[in-house]
Chains A and B, each alone.
Chain A
Amino acid sequence: MTQKTNNQRAWFLVLPVLALVAFSSIIPMITVVNYSFQDSFGGNEFFWVGLEWYRELLQSERLWDALGRQLLFSSIILLIEIPLGILIALSMPKKGWMASLCLVLMALPLLIPYNVVGTIWQVFARADIGLLGRAISDLGLSYNYAQNAFDAWVTVIVMDVWHWTSLVALLSYAGLRSIPNAYYQAAEIDQASRWAVFRYIELPKMSGVLIIAVLLRFMDSFMIYTEPFVLTGGGPGNATTFLSIDLVKMALGQFDLGPAAAFSLMYFLVILLISYVFYTVMISADNDGTAR
Chain B
Amino acid sequence: MASITLENLAHSYLSDPKGETDFALRELNHTWEDGHAYALLGPSGCGKTTLLNIISGLLQPTRGRVLFGEQDVTQASTAQRNIAQVFQFPVVYDTMTVGQNLAFPLSNRGMDARYIEERVQRIAQMIGLEAHLGQKARGLTADLKQKISLGRGVVRDDVNAILFDEPLTVIDPNLKWELRTQLKSLHREFGHTMIYVTHDQTEALTFAEKVVVMHEGQVLQIGTPQELFETPAHVFVGYFIGSPGMNFLPVSVEGRHAIAHGHTSALAQDYGHPQGDIMLGIRPEFTSLTKGEGLPVMIKRVQDVGRYKFVNATVFEREINIVLDAHIEIEADMTKVSFDPDKISIFSNDWRIDPASGGKL
Q: What residues of chain A have their CB less than 8 Å away from a CB belonging to chain B? A: 180, 182-183, 185-186, 188-193, 196, 200-201, 203-205, 288-292
Contacts and interface: CB of A to CB of B under 8 A. Distances in A.
Nearest to A197: B93
Nearest to B91: A186
Interface in B83-106: 83-85, 87-89, 91, 93-96, 104-105
Contacts of A191: 79, 105, 108-109
A183 B94 CA distance: 11
B85 A204 contact: no
Most buried by B among A188, A193, A204, A290: A188
B138 interface: yes
B94 A204 contact: yes
Counting from the closest, the 7 A-B pairs by CB-CB distance are A289-B136, A190-B105, A290-B139, A182-B87, A200-B93, A191-B108, A186-B91
Contact of A189 (B79, B88, B95, B139): B79
Contacts of B152: 186, 190
19 contacts: A180-B91, A182-B91, A183-B91, A186-B91, A189-B78, A189-B79, A189-B84, A189-B85, A189-B105, A191-B105, A193-B108, A196-B108, A200-B93, A200-B96, A200-B104, A204-B95, A205-B94, A289-B95, A290-B136
Interface residues on B, range: 20 to 34
B330 interface: no
B77 interface: yes
B320 to A, nearest CB: 41
Given A200-B93, A201-B93, A289-B95, A189 B83 contact: yes
Contacts of B104: 190, 192, 196, 200
Contacts of A189: 78-79, 83-85, 105
A105 to B, nearest CB: 30
A287 to B, nearest CB: 9
Given A185-B58, A189-B79, A180 B108 contact: no
A184 to B, nearest CB: 10
Contact of B79 (A183, A188, A201): A188
B139 A289 contact: yes
Contacts of A291: 139
Contacts of B84: 189
Interface in B63-90: 77-79, 83-85, 87-89
A90 to B, nearest CB: 18
Contacts, number: 62
A177 to B, nearest CB: 17
A208 to B, nearest CB: 12
A171 to B, nearest CB: 20
Interface in B241-286: none
A185 B78 contact: yes
Nearest to A200: B93
Contact of A292 (B83, B108, B139, B149): B139
Contacts of A185: 56, 58, 78, 85, 87
A193 B79 CA distance: 12
A188 B78 contact: yes
A18 B72 CA distance: 69
A289 B138 contact: yes
Nearest to B90: A182
A200 to B, nearest CB: 4
B95 A200 contact: yes
A292 B94 CA distance: 14
Contacts of B138: 204, 289-290
Contacts of B83: 189
A175 to B, nearest CB: 14
A286 B81 CA distance: 35
Contacts of B105: 189-191
A182 to B, nearest CB: 4
Contact of B108 (A190, A201, A288): A190
A181 to B, nearest CB: 9
Nearest to B85: A189
A101 to B, nearest CB: 24
Most buried by A among B84, B104, B109: B104
Contacts of A290: 136, 138-139
A289 B109 CA distance: 27
A138 to B, nearest CB: 49
A203 B28 CA distance: 42
Contacts of A200: 93-96, 104
Nearest to A190: B105
B85 A186 contact: yes
A198 to B, nearest CB: 12
B102 to A, nearest CB: 11
Interface string B130-162: 000001101100000000010010000000000
Contacts of B89: 180, 182
B108 A192 contact: yes
A290 B145 CA distance: 13
